[in-house]
Homo-oligomer: A and B are copies of this chain.
């Protein structure tokens, strides 16, 4: 198959297809047309066809999409057919919220360790996982085949910790610290900047109020 670069915009929409298809599947629906999918997802049918064509199509003229098959295939594209081993750096409220979120585990994202630099927190258990001191991170990453690190620490330390993690062999960083990480090529970073999201909401609120 021809190699082509798929835009991050398309990739960003895949989890949403996956979610809607999962819901249709749970409802026992076996096939869906791009028009029906368009109606429930509130995007155009042509966008759906275009997006899915990036991965070779999946649809059949006059039949539509097989829900179960498409769900499986998008899952594979998203890498959900493999397990990922995760650690969380930062055992604060956000770190705890993520560890306690059962859906991640169902999708193959397994939290293996939690690290914190506060000695009062180390030794505590969160959902059966012991919080460890940062000094043990290097060895833990290597011995437990960890591929994703989740950063829920303040921005002041995030850049340095990210560099350490990369040197230990981490390939993916899910970054909640409010700072842009500059990592070597080949390392994947996905940011969740909560403040940015709230500011965007604030913008949309005030620009709408001005219109009144």
* B196 pairs with A174, CB closer than 8 A: no
* A206 pairs with B82, CB closer than 8 A: yes
Q: Which of A167-212 contact B (CB under 8 A)?
A: 171-172, 174, 178, 180, 182, 186, 188, 190, 192-209
Q: Which residues of B contact A101 (CB under 8 A)?
A: 194
Q: How many copies does the complex hold?
A: 2
Query: How many residues of chain A have a CB within 8 Å of chain B?
Result: 58
Q: Which residues of B contact A147 (CB under 8 A)?
A: 205
Query: Does A103 sit at the interface, judged by CB under 8 A?
Result: yes
Q: A19-B178, A97-B93, A103-B195 are in contact. Are A11 and B204 (CB under 8 A)?
A: yes
Compute how far the CA of A197 lies from the CA of B206 in the bound complex, rounded to whole angstroms: 27
Compute how far the CA of A188 lies from the CA of B96 in the bound complex, rounded to whole angstroms: 29
* Complex: chain B residue closest to A150, CB-CB: B198
